Amino acid sequence: MPILPPEPAVYPVNLLDDLGRTTSGRRWWIVYTKSRQEKALARALRAQEVAHYLPLVARSVSGRGRPVCAFVPVFPCYVFVYGDHRDRELSLKTNRVCSVLPVPDGDALCSDLARVQTLIDCGEPLTVETRLAPGEWVRVRKGPLEGIEGTILQRKRRTFLVVAVRMLQQGVSVEVEDRLVEPATRPPGMPGK
């Protein structure tokens, strides 16, 4: 049973679909927060109606000697904000932010974040990947992750699909069966072989 119910990860709900790909004077910003301030910042941004994304996953943690479920950020200390300079300033005024980084390629970041959210939505256990290595680019051809592209990674005779957030040089991985993936063409600008 979770300590608290899950909070919305995406505000507004269409941010990773349509809204985050428009150029209406807004752009993507990567906000680096103070330690353990991601959810508080997301609440403050939601109250100010600032578009943002904070990927969260359920994790079992120990609380008062017994395991409980908590929703924790996939990328600790990072919140992704989509807005103009006014929205950037609103995030800074919360006193929960260490720095704000502009994103040179907002469409690429939005695509990366949408793929991360798809992996979260599938409900499979995720592993945060902090040291990304180049691998074969593949596409999932069947199952709940059908159409998702990423890098394949082999560990201890198990196969994982890694979806990277290139700006952070981090990502998440989920275990997949070899038979469900096929080689794909690596998108332009994507590092690797």
Q: What is the pLDDT of residues 52-83, one digit of tens each?
A: 999 999 888 777 788 888 889 999 999 999 99
Q: How does DSSP assign 68-134, residue by residue?
A: EEEEEESSTTEEEEEE-HHHHHHHHTTT-EEEEEE-S-HHHHHHHHHHHHHHHHH----EEESS---
Closest CA relative to residue 80, chosen from 43, 36, 28, 39: 28
Architecture of domain 117-183: Roll (2.30)
C-beta neighbour count of 24 within 10 angstroms: 7
List 73's β-bridge partners, or say none. 56
The string of pLDDT tens digits covering residues 17-38 is 988 887 788 999 999 999 999 9
pLDDT at residue 130 in the model: 78
> CATH number for the 10-103 domain, one of 3.60.20.10, 3.20.20.140, 3.20.20.70, 3.30.70.940?
3.30.70.940
Mean pLDDT score, 1-14: 81
pLDDT in tens, 135-172: 889 999 988 899 999 999 888 888 899 999 988 989 99
Chain mean position to CA 80: 9
Q: Please name which of 33, 52, 39, 26 lies closest in space to residue 92, comparing C-alpha atoms.
A: 33
